[in-house]
Amino acid sequence: MGAEKNIRSKILITGANGQLGRSLQNVAKRYPEYDFHFKTSKELDITSKENINKLFAHEKFDYCINCAAYTAVDKAETDQENAFLVNAEAVKYLSEACKAQNAVLIHISTDFVFDGSKTTPYTEEDTPNPINVYGASKLKGEQYVQDILKNYFIIRTSWVYSEYGNNFVKTMLRLGTERDELNVVNDQIGSPTYAGDLAEAIMKIINLEATNYGIYHYSSEGAISWYDFAKEIFETKGMTIKVNPIPSEAYPTPAKRPAFSVMDLSKFNRFIVIPGWKKGLKNV
């Protein structure tokens, strides 16, 4: 028999098929000392308290990284029940299961908990005030985590993109092959976040066995509009597409978006030096 692997921690990852879940699967290959348990929504329905309790009864986890979320921002406006079920109630069940096992919950949240009325980056101390159902459901999930657990990291992130799933970068590249000219809103300012960098940052927290629990903001460094981001995507890819700046009113959506959702990253920067958004874009 070969020597047994010395496992440092057992880690549950929910939402394994999403952008961050798949990025974590990629990053996990570099961390053989951890025992990863990736669960897709089909393998673990987190909206079922019974399913969660059954899994936790069979396995003792040290960490749970909750990447599962209802992220269809516009659809959430008319599908409130499901948005709150996944983004809030399910988070409550996971929090309760983690508390019973003394597991650390790393929960992924969003810049959309803010209303966008500030003109300087949002800190973790700023009062959330969501302006759409998605943001409200994610805030409710955060509140459950804080009410139930002491050992948690809530990581708010923004404008996530990657090689996987549906995201702005992939949409722009697809549209760029179909059209010569695109209109993109230029009055919503935020920070694109490469999911691969966020996955690395989460593993850094675990690797450090950090215990300074609480809420943290993580995005890639830098603030831009969707219009500027689109231009940079085409430039990086070497595609010649005319991109026209338009106001949000010219492109109405069911859900309101914050006009400014840039986050202050100084608290997270104590763990890791956060790369700029252009570096992540080049990786993709």
Residue numbers annotated as active site: 134
Question: What angle in degrees, to the nearest 10, is found between the helix axes of 133-148 and 90-101?
Answer: 20
* Nearest in space to 272 (alpha carbons), one of 231, 217, 234, 223: 217
* Nearest in space to 83 (alpha carbons), one of 72, 68, 96, 98: 72
Give me the DSSP letters along 186-219.
-S-EE--EEHHHHHHHHHHHHHTT----EEEE--
* Nearest in space to 196 (alpha carbons), one of 108, 67, 72, 283: 283
Question: What angle in degrees, to the nearest 10, is found between the helix axes of 195-207 and 19-28?
Answer: 50
Mapped onto helix, strand or coil, the DSSP state of residue 141 is helix
CA atoms within 13 A on the CB side of 161: 24
